[in-house]
Structure 1
């Protein structure tokens, strides 16, 4: 659930809860107020009826003293108010305890009305009218006494109601305070829960970002929020982790690129050191080749030509990859010189698939493997040595294998070479071979962009096979992996 959805659910729930509580309090107060209003209406009705009876009697007295239209209209108005009050009392509800007294009070009001009508009819006879007026005046006294008695009775009957109303008001006040406190605590708790659900993951992400910006290792990152969360913070955490993975991959690529640059610088330095007067060296070899040919030493001349080709191949631009065909040509020149040395002790066999010879490869990578087979594999054999170089295709890759039937090597040496390591206390010739082979393997891995570019199969006394896998369709950058001195 997203943070926005949580807020859209929690906030309306809080509002509905508050409205429900206030509605409950309002309804309870309304019930109490309704009971109180009904009681007060009855009390006020009695008092109003008594007052209306007195006013009606006064208006009758004024008319009897001065019978004209004005005093008659004033009496009619007062009489109308008396009738309205009586009718209201008749319609109203009242407790059973008060019902009989209320009926007697209403009957007194009717009697008063009858007596006033009689006094009004006898207005032409002053003595008769005065007598009837005095009867009405006594009735008003009874009405006053009955009204006071009804008020007292109502108050005595409604006294428990007053107490109940007071207790209900006190209870409602306490309930209101409790509900307000609970609602406040609930609102604070929900606000803390939502804010903590937002601020704590954000603080963790900020700490992790500072950790990364300070260059500290990613393995020591502080605890991050769960990326499995479905809200915005889970998405943010996932994006942050993806960014860290991308940074790590980018750093690895930069490290490999820096290593390539270092290898290039080393090669350039060695190339500068080895290119002292190259033309003089080539010219000298050509002179020696011609001289040997003139003297009839054709084999010597051929070896000198092979040496000249090898030196020229080594001194070429190391940044430019070569084809397998060109590398095998360099291997052939090297083998020609070695066979002149070993003669019949070593047999060299080459089997190459023409379809694979166009594959691009870093220069000086196959010849060092053949050289190691000569020097460290079969050099100690007195005869029967064989080195086999095969080139074949496997899907989109070219497979180059260099095999010998020499002394072989143990598993620890194989692991050391494949891990690009060498023994610090090894003999000088063994260390040189390890360094040269390590550099060749590393260049092949960087060139192909794969860790399984080289595989070694060997056992002590059973020979060694080094297999190299090269992508045939690789687009080569202008600056290739440099060649390294093979030791």
Structure 2
């Protein structure tokens, strides 16, 4: 049964119960009063029946004495039986107040019957005088019965006078009780009706207020209705609709924001591409100039200067390539050697570079400009600060499905916090000086290029140098990197 329907049936049941209780109480008191009235009336009728029966018996006896026929005799006997029956009924009217008077009354009835029988007996024996005397005695006793009946009735009237007054007082009290009971029931019904109406209207008002707030665009207010009926279910559905609308609005706002950001990124990308084209003028001019200087130095006999200029030109030419293009490992090694030639010319004996490369690994593909930023970082932080310089080791080994590349230096090392920042791609202090590509950028491109996170390991400590270990797969997921590169 639904909640509101249940409340309505409860109200109807309470009203019906109250009406039934009132009806039962009124019926009970009415029946009780009626029974008491019937008892009193029955006493009066029974006593009057004795008087009437005795008078009828006297009349029947008189007729029989005048005309002693069989019919008249039967009438006398019938009257006597009525007297006996009335006597038996009167016997049940005995109480403490009329015990003595009722006993005499019963004796008179017996005497009346005996006198009537004696008169009939004398008449049957043809003793007319004795029969008449008995008749006169029966008439006298009948008058006594009538007088005593009046006496008993008077006694009962006095006895039941208090009863009459009690009935009147009880009736007045019942009327007052009925009025107060009616007022109490009316108050309780009004109270229950008020509670019943509030239990329905209050949730409806809350829903109405919530609808007004929603119409104003406030979708962040939770709708709460404390009830256990259909309105609570409606409120839950209404609140769920609010949440869905709020989520939909949030999604629309996020979509609009993303579209706005995408539009701005497109504009920035176009601007950056324009600037990139403009900035390529100077590097190309510098590249051509370095080639000219290298040839001129060679013609003038300065082979060392010519080689240095050729290394710088080759390094510049390689750096002008797009970073999203993969290169072979031997190309990275060649560029790394050119970079080290430049650094050796700068640091002379302070920089020592040792390499160990297995030729079978040189055709593995990897992102461009991978080794140079790592080695440059070692030069800047491990060799340059030291007065005696330092050593950098570069090793390439074949590890089956992997190519292991180690770049190690004997500098001061890095802290664990610094290593964590680099691996989490949060470090900005390791940006490259010559390429603009930092160590974190290299890690990011390697992970994107190969589609795995465990592409690099860094082991270091205070005073024991730094070793960077790259695990390069011989096969890679090209789609991920290429799509990301094209989006960039």
Could you say which TM-score interval applies, normalised by the shorter chain? Answer: 0.5 to 0.7
Q: Structure 1: which 5+ residue stretches go unaligned?
A: 314-327, 350-387, 407-475
> 2:207 corresponds to which residue?
205
**Aligned residues of 2:112 and 2:138 also touching (Cα < 8 A):** yes
Please list, as runs of the form range in 1=range in 2, the aligned pairs for 1:92-111 lying within 5 A after superposition: 92-96=93-97, 98-111=98-111
**Aligned residues of 2:219 and 2:246 also touching (Cα < 8 A):** no
> 2:152 corresponds to which residue?
150
> 2:192 corresponds to which residue?
190
The alignment partner of 2:183 has SS state of helix
> 1:122 corresponds to which residue?
122
> 1:262 corresponds to which residue?
260
> 1:83 corresponds to which residue?
84
Distance 1:306 1:71, change over 3 A: farther
Q: Distance in 1 between matches of 2:83 and 2:369?
A: 138
Distance 1:236 1:255, change over 3 A: same
1:104 is displaced (CA, Å) by 2.7
Q: Distance in 2 between matches of 1:210 and 1:483?
A: 46
Distance 1:237 1:39, change over 3 A: same
TM-score by length of 1: 0.53
Q: Distance in 2 between matches of 1:140 and 1:164?
A: 36
> 2:322 corresponds to which residue?
309
Q: Distance in 2 between matches of 1:303 and 1:139?
A: 163
Number of corresponding residues? 345
Q: Distance in 2 between matches of 1:301 and 1:133?
A: 173
**Aligned residues of 2:291 and 2:313 also touching (Cα < 8 A):** no
**Aligned residues of 1:52 and 1:81 also touching (Cα < 8 A):** yes
Once structures 1 and 2 are overlaid, which stretch shifts more, 132-141 or 64-73? 64-73
Distance 1:31 1:334, change over 3 A: farther
1:160 is displaced (CA, Å) by 2.3
Q: Distance in 2 between matches of 1:116 and 1:188?
A: 74
1:260 is displaced (CA, Å) by 1.6
Q: Distance in 2 between matches of 1:240 and 1:266?
A: 39
> 1:139 corresponds to which residue?
141
**Aligned residues of 2:54 and 2:83 also touching (Cα < 8 A):** yes
Q: Structure 2: which 5+ residue stretches go unaligned?
A: 295-308, 327-365, 386-391, 393-414, 432-479
1:394-430 superposed Cα distances (whole Å, 9 cap, x missing partner): 9xx9711223299xxxxxxxxxxxxxxxxxxxxxxxx
Identify the structure with bigger relative contact order (alpha carbons < 8 Å, sequence gap 6+).
1
Distance 1:104 1:332, change over 3 A: same
Please list, as runs of the form range in 1=range in 2, the aligned pairs for 1:10-409 lying within 5 A after superposition: 27-96=28-97, 98-124=98-124, 125=126, 127-128=128-129, 129-216=131-218, 218=220, 224-225=224-225, 248=246, 251-268=249-266, 299-300=312-313, 303=316, 306-307=319-320, 309=322, 399-404=424-429
